[in-house]
Structure 1
């Protein structure tokens, strides 16, 4: 956690791409995998840190920056990944959709035969 020049808090993480031990081709592959999977990883980390955000709700709107560490300049980057609130909104929207699908499936099964009740639980 750091403060920017305006005094706003932001969350900072690092993704280790390389420090010269890998070829540029391997570093390129690692960088692309990290960039591709980072949003999903942050979503899961944010969900796991819900108790933390309950105690520090001001951080829900903190910007998330990930530093990609590499000996190759083209992979040495700082990337903005939104805020924890963005990831929690995605999680809860997804859960709302699953609940709606579950309710819809239950109604269709009850109407279909009058006997079968489909119960999906996760």
Structure 2
């Protein structure tokens, strides 16, 4: 478990349907913001806003990829694995665990694919 963002902010963020949809969509495979906007039938500005919020909370990671033409683009992947909410006398406490992926291995794999 790791430190969680403030409970009020976290619960408000995860109360947003687009934020939840982005996390679900990027749980298995990374996606670009454009692909997310298309998949969610959402405005790109909405997707970028939620990406910023989710990344700031530590729930989404960003990696830069390069396509066959040498263009760089960002892909996003969910980091949130588990969220626990506990009610205490002082209020709510959150416990968050993240999926720690070896981003270096993923980048090398993508680079190797680009070199082929």
TM-score (structure 1 length as normaliser)? 0.29
The answer to which structure has the higher helix fraction is 1
Q: For CA contacts below 8 A with separation 6 or more, give which structure has more relative contact order.
A: 2
The answer to which structure has the higher strand fraction is 2
TM-score (structure 2 length as normaliser)? 0.30
